[in-house]
Structure 1
Amino acid sequence: MSSLYEQHLGPAFSRLAPCLQRFHREPGLRWQGEAEVSRSTQPLLRALLSLARFPAVGAQRCEVCLHASAGGETWARRFAGRPMRSQQSLRQGQLAEQFGPIRLWLRSEVSAGELRQHASACQLFGITLPRWLALNVVARESASGDRLQFDVAIRLGQHPLLHYRGHLQAMD
């Protein structure tokens, strides 16, 4: 059976760097590395990020493990031991990522072995939010040998909210 990303990307999946193919094809494999995290400088947004248990600011150990299910994948992330989970699935032919009541619709593109994604829409409790109020996510996965590199920037409208980047290696 094909993985979620093999289904989502179709023939473009084979153009991903081998390390990225392995990450998206082998659920249950634990990946560990380092991340650098920055957050909004606005006090209210920082407080909301803390309440939502998003990663703290600074350099920290990180871990990612994907768990496949009939409905898609659970992305179990840990930053400095602090969990951050989401569900990804194919809905209406598009990739959706769910964080509690927030659903992001992601567009994906493979270029030069990299996976690039951005949010095309954001919903809160099933209601599509206007761009000025929506989460805007831009993410990139690339590879350097057997090391997966990631860079994820999240904005709330025009305001930087959370940015994390770093690397992971398979723990097998």
Structure 2
Amino acid sequence: MTPTLFQRLLGASFYSLPDSVRALHGIRGRARYAGRATILRGRNPLGRLCAMVAGLPGAREDVPTTVDFDARPDGETWQRNFGGRRMRSRLRRDGRVLVERLGPLRFRFALHANNGSIWWRVVGVKLFGVLPLPASWFDGVYCREGEHEGRYTFEVEAALPLCGRLIRYEGWLEPDAG
């Protein structure tokens, strides 16, 4: 069986991750996960503009959340829904990095498995797929995936110089039985 995107990127360390994290990143084909999330947004007007351009959801507390996964051998599509506010991204592998296209930005992430979590760190960004932006601008952007009480958990932070926090969202997901 062909390894999934995250299995290829993380190699042997994938198999040391908690069950719920391995299950989510072991999806082949289509699946839906459901849970709850809390979303915080920054107050800086420039940060709010950047968040709007990127199509990021607004601040909400304990919002119903679903993620529809379409995992194919060449990459994955994630369609997030935060209480009616949708956010779509496309993920693929480029060598040893994960590439995520989100709005007009194309992020390159190094993934690291550590203490039962997957950490995403930005190693490159392109605007409109062609204009490279300094990776140092994105030192405040990260993702952590893990497990708590048997549920897959996520925490995403995006802060930029001069803009401050664009967004922070965190919550949990489990397979949707419905």
Q: Does the residue aligned with 1:164 lie in a helix, a strand or coil?
A: strand
Q: Does the residue aligned with 1:56 lie in a helix, a strand or coil?
A: coil
Take 1:17 and 1:63, find their aligned partners in 2: how far apart are those partners? Answer: 21
Tell me the amino acid that sits aligned with residue 165 of structure 1.
E
- 1:144 aligns to what? 148
Is the 1:20–1:143 Cα contact (8 Å) retained in structure 2?
Answer: yes
Take 1:82 and 1:165, find their aligned partners in 2: how far apart are those partners? Answer: 15
Relative to structure 1, is the Cα distance of residues 3 and 131 closer, same or farther in structure 2, using a 3 angstrom cutoff? closer
Q: CA deviation at 1:70?
A: 4.0
Are 1:25 and 2:37 counterparts?
no
User: Given the two structures, how large is their TM-score scaled by the length of structure 1?
Assistant: 0.90
Take 2:71 and 2:25, find their aligned partners in 1: how far apart are those partners? Answer: 10
Aligned mate of 1:88, from 83, 88, 91: 91
Q: Which runs of 5+ in 1 are unaligned?
A: none
Take 2:150 and 2:49, find their aligned partners in 1: how far apart are those partners? Answer: 36
- 1:157 aligns to what? 161
Are 1:166 and 2:171 counterparts?
yes
Aligned residues: CA RMSD: 1.8
1:43-54 equivalences under 5 Å are: 43-54=45-56
- 1:117 aligns to what? 120
- 1:36 aligns to what? 38
Report the identity percentage. 28
Q: Which moved more, 1:123-132 or 1:149-158?
A: 123-132
Relative to structure 1, is the Cα distance of residues 94 and 53 closer, same or farther in structure 2, using a 3 angstrom cutoff? closer
Tell me the amino acid that sits aligned with residue 54 of structure 1.
L
1:75-133 Cα offsets, whole Å, 9 max, x none, are 11111111100011011331111113211110111112111111111111222212465
- 1:55 aligns to what? 57
Aligned mate of 2:111, from 83, 108, 112: 108
Are 1:10 and 2:11 counterparts?
yes
Q: Does the residue aligned with 2:174 lie in a helix, a strand or coil?
A: strand
Take 1:14 and 1:131, find their aligned partners in 2: how far apart are those partners? Answer: 30
Is the 1:132–1:156 Cα contact (8 Å) retained in structure 2?
Answer: no
Relative to structure 1, is the Cα distance of residues 26 and 127 closer, same or farther in structure 2, using a 3 angstrom cutoff? same
Aligned length: 172
Q: CA deviation at 1:146?
A: 2.8
Is the 1:131–1:157 Cα contact (8 Å) retained in structure 2?
Answer: no
Q: Which moved more, 1:80-89 or 1:138-147?
A: 138-147
Is the 2:124–2:133 Cα contact (8 Å) retained in structure 1?
Answer: yes
Q: CA deviation at 1:149?
A: 1.1
Relative to structure 1, is the Cα distance of residues 131 and 107 closer, same or farther in structure 2, using a 3 angstrom cutoff? closer
